[in-house]
A and B are shown apart, each in its own frame.
Chain A
Amino acid sequence: MKLKPRKHGILGAIALASGVAIALAGCSLEGVDTGAAASDDELSKVDGEISFATLELSSNPDLAAYIEDTISAFEKEYPGTEVEWIDVPFAGAQEKFAADAAAGNLPDVVNLNPNIAQPLEREGVFLDIDAADPELAAEYVAGAWEGFQVPGQEGTFGVPWYLTSEVTMYNAALYEQAGLDPEAAPETFDELYEQAAAVSTAGAGAFYGIHPALENRFMTDLAKIGVPLIDEDLVWTFNTPEAVEHVERLAEMYQTGVFPADSLTQNLNDAKEGYQAGSIAVFPSGPNFLNGIQQNAPQVFENTRVAPQIAAEGEPINMSVMGLLIPKTSENQGTALAFTKFITNAENQLAFAKVAPVLPSVTEALEDPFFQDDSDGTELSKARKLSANGLERAENLTPVQYDDQVKNAVLAKIQLALAGDLSAQDALDQAVEDANAITGGE
């Protein structure tokens, strides 16, 4: 019997519908696969193969060599183990790990920062390190260890690996052109903004004192002047009188041309490029940025001076934390934990800090003379010392709930305040309301 075209169509539709139905039946509405924590016996077993994912470390040949050497050293110390290293580009990392987590397929040791990790920590995806090894916490910088804790939950879900704590970088040549003392770095926000205004006035459009880089600094600056960002019930609370005063000041500076006109919408990269082009005088950043300046803009590097990170008296300064987390779906949590402890131990972190301008998260490594020795007189070693000494009062000031959606909602309102389209009070009230609507704060 010859099938008529119409019957072909019906058959095709049935086949398609069946295929889709079968495929969708496999797509449940459950969240990520959380797996189960290994028993103490399993945790003490160090053997077999694990995968280890890092965030964009292989592009630097020295760093890549360091990671490979450390892996070899681990495999030598624990015969029978094998570590497969996967390096994931920063862009798209969250999407990749999200898909892996949904499939219960995360690498055995995964490198994440607290903000990216937090939603998964909250769902119980990662091994509780406090429970797996209660002694470990004492060895690490307290503020960094706390970065992997979830408000309202017991435990710590990652081991801090490397830290960066920003310093204030400024261009001494532009300071001189503005008639400022190039050796008198700003120590308070008042001084910073006054000096920035003087530089912008002298620049008359050719160069500016500072870029607001709202996406990078707005929230942490509020924390540094003592504004409470979010309370214990996870309700955003940053619309305080101090915050209003801060936003009013930013708005005044934007409207009077202290900030570049396009800085309202152009982001952190614009600030970085501006500093390297010699058109921005002050740029607060991690010491690792100094290498970039040295490479891309040797003249600006020569004029760059570093000073401590600015925060109001008695308030913490900011640090960024990178950590290693072990998903409970890992079939080899014992080896994963041993490797995590190995790569974050004092010796290996010190070696890491000598390859890349980052700070170790173990206190023992921080005591090494390497972090206190700035006798070569270079700004790089001075920045390293300043950064290391600042860790005592440093915290990860970005609340883990401040994800991209919250950040964009908040900054959108602050931009309106800077442009003069909304009062500082209204902008902050609306920003708090929008942020709470997104994160479920009442």
Chain B
Amino acid sequence: MRPRRLLTPWVLLAPALAVALIFHIVPFFRTVQLSFTDFRLASGGEYIGLENFGALASSDVFWLSAGNTLLYVIVVVPLLVMLPLFLAMLVQPKIPGIAFFRASFYTPVIASMVVVGLIWVFLLREQGPVNWLLQTLKVVQGPLPFLTDATLLLLSCMLVTVWKGLGFYMVIYLTALANVPGELHEAAQVDGAGGVRRFWSVTLPSVRPTMLLVGVLSAIAAMKVYAEIFVIAGETAGPGGQVRSLVFTIREVGSGFDGQVGYAAAMSLVLFVFTIGLTVALQKLSRENEEA
């Protein structure tokens, strides 16, 4: 009887464990293994110790990619933590027709990144609607080179990431806002607190754990940015490859029959360490805030 009782949870867990093992755990350890080799798909490879990591440290392309990725996180994460919160507050009231706006804000989330990217390429062209609007409103004299200037390209990619992510994080915030006790707002109102004061003293503290969650999720997503850059900045990642992210470079060097899989694996491992480090730092920061 007892061995059966011990076995039952494992049997129930088996399918999920198998999926995790085959598609996540084994590939992860395989990546670690490959990162110490000069493996190429066509020709195979040999163990070369830490050579890949040495090559990474002295590679301008790697540092450019890492720098762009970090910049992406610094710009995109705060926007994706704050903007969806405001959006959620905007669509939270149960008034007729609000479901339409909730669905509209969520639509970009379910759209393919490639389709979204192509739409934005059209919008951001030198003769596209965005430049037309900016010139009509006399914000700028001539068209802005959104698709050809490295800095503007990076900003354009960030804009698309934020725009596409808003709806997803908005839904998470809506759930959190629904759990904020109405009495707290009422009590604050009775005490004479205005809208801004209630936001700072009631809403924000109540959704802080959700903000951490959104921060971590959006940071991980930003660390992995690829499709936006590929579609908007082109296959070279902008003129001179100046807009490349870590995942862009990993894919570029590791794909194809002749791809440097070992080198790409080493870069993936570095990205993994960066991501874990960032997640831990965010959690620590949030804990310190709570304690304070």
CA distance A24 to B30 in the complex (A): 6
B102 CB-CB contact with A under 8 Å: no
Q: Quick one: given A24-B29, A261-B145, are A29 and B46 in contact (CB under 8 Å)?
A: yes
CA distance A95 to B256 in the complex (A): 7
B43 CB-CB contact with A under 8 Å: yes
A421 touches B255 (CB 8 A): no
The interface size of chain B toward A, counting residues with CB under 8 Å, comes to: 42
Instruction: Of the listed stretches A338-346, A350-358, A401-409, name the one at the interface; the rest are far from the partner chain.
Output: A401-409
Closest B residue to A268 using CB positions: B235
A266 touches B255 (CB 8 A): no
A442 CB-CB contact with B under 8 Å: no
Closest B residue to A102 using CB positions: B41
A119 touches B256 (CB 8 A): yes
Instruction: Of the listed stretches B68-76, B79-87, B121-129, B274-282, name the one at the interface; the rest are far from the partner chain.
Output: B121-129
A98 touches B235 (CB 8 A): no
B25 touches A412 (CB 8 A): no
CA distance A120 to B252 in the complex (A): 19
Least CB distance from A18 to B in Å reads: 11
Contact of A29 among B44, B127, B143, B241 (CB under 8 A): B44
Q: Quick one: given A119-B258, A265-B234, are A31 and B252 in contact (CB under 8 Å)?
A: no
Q: Quick one: given A24-B33, A403-B258, A421-B239, are A31 and B125 in contact (CB under 8 Å)?
A: no
Contacts of B240 in A (CB 8 A): 412-413, 415-416, 421-422
List B residues at the A interface (Cβ < 8 Å): 6, 21, 25-26, 29-30, 33, 37, 39-47, 121, 125-127, 143, 145, 147-148, 153, 233-241, 252-253, 255-259
CA distance A24 to B127 in the complex (A): 53
Contacts of B255 in A (CB 8 A): 94-95, 404
Q: Quick one: given A19-B21, A20-B25, are A94 and B236 in contact (CB under 8 Å)?
A: no
Contacts of A404 in B (CB 8 A): 235, 252, 255-256
Contacts of B6 in A (CB 8 A): 3
B234 touches A266 (CB 8 A): yes
Other A-B pairs beyond A24-B26, A412-B241, A415-B238, 14, CB < 8 Å: A3-B6, A20-B25, A23-B30, A24-B33, A27-B30, A29-B45, A102-B41, A122-B42, A205-B127, A264-B147, A405-B259, A411-B235, A411-B236, A422-B240
Closest B residue to A406 using CB positions: B258
A101 CB-CB contact with B under 8 Å: yes
Least CB distance from B82 to A in Å reads: 30
Contact of B238 among A30, A261, A265 (CB under 8 A): A265
A101 touches B257 (CB 8 A): yes
CA distance A333 to B187 in the complex (A): 82
Q: Which of A29-47 contact B (CB under 8 A)?
A: 29-32
Task: Type the 1/0 row for A22-66, where 1 means its CB is closer than 8 Å to any CB of B.
Answer: 011001111110000000000000000000000000000000000
Contacts of B26 in A (CB 8 A): 19-20, 23-24
A29 touches B37 (CB 8 A): yes
A374 CB-CB contact with B under 8 Å: no
Give 22 CB contacts A-B under 8 Å.
A16-B25, A19-B26, A23-B30, A28-B44, A29-B47, A31-B44, A97-B257, A98-B41, A98-B257, A119-B42, A122-B43, A125-B42, A261-B143, A262-B148, A264-B147, A264-B148, A266-B121, A404-B256, A405-B252, A405-B256, A408-B236, A415-B239
B239 touches A405 (CB 8 A): no
B148 touches A31 (CB 8 A): no
Least CB distance from A230 to B in Å reads: 15
A429 CB-CB contact with B under 8 Å: no
Contacts of B241 in A (CB 8 A): 408-409, 412
The interface size of chain A toward B, counting residues with CB under 8 Å, comes to: 48
Contacts of B143 in A (CB 8 A): 261
B43 touches A123 (CB 8 A): yes
Closest A residue to B258 using CB positions: A119
Contacts of A94 in B (CB 8 A): 255-257
5 A-B pairs with least C-beta separation: A31-B44, A119-B257, A415-B239, A119-B258, A265-B234
Closest A residue to B26 using CB positions: A23
B126 touches A415 (CB 8 A): no
Contacts of B121 in A (CB 8 A): 266
Contacts of B257 in A (CB 8 A): 32, 94, 97-98, 101, 116, 119-120
Q: Quick one: given A403-B256, A403-B258, are A264 and B239 in contact (CB under 8 Å)?
A: yes
A267 CB-CB contact with B under 8 Å: yes
Interface centre among B37, B40, B41, B43 (most CB of A within 10 A): B41
Task: Type the 1/0 row for A84-111, where 1 means its CB is closer than 8 Å to any CB of B.
Answer: 0000000000110110011000000000
Contact of A31 among B29, B42, B145 (CB under 8 A): B42
Contact of B41 among A101, A408, A415, A421 (CB under 8 A): A101
CA distance A366 to B194 in the complex (A): 83
Closest B residue to A27 using CB positions: B30
Interface centre among B26, B42, B256, B257 (most CB of A within 10 A): B257
Q: Quick one: given A262-B147, A262-B148, are A408 and B235 in contact (CB under 8 Å)?
A: yes
Contacts of B233 in A (CB 8 A): 265
CA distance A413 to B238 in the complex (A): 10
Q: Quick one: given A261-B143, A262-B125, A265-B148, are A120 and B239 in contact (CB under 8 Å)?
A: no
B239 touches A29 (CB 8 A): no
Least CB distance from A266 to B in Å reads: 6
Q: Quick one: given A98-B257, A123-B43, A205-B127, are A419 and B239 in contact (CB under 8 Å)?
A: yes
Contacts of A315 in B (CB 8 A): none
Closest A residue to B254 using CB positions: A405
Least CB distance from B268 to A in Å reads: 16
A261 touches B236 (CB 8 A): no
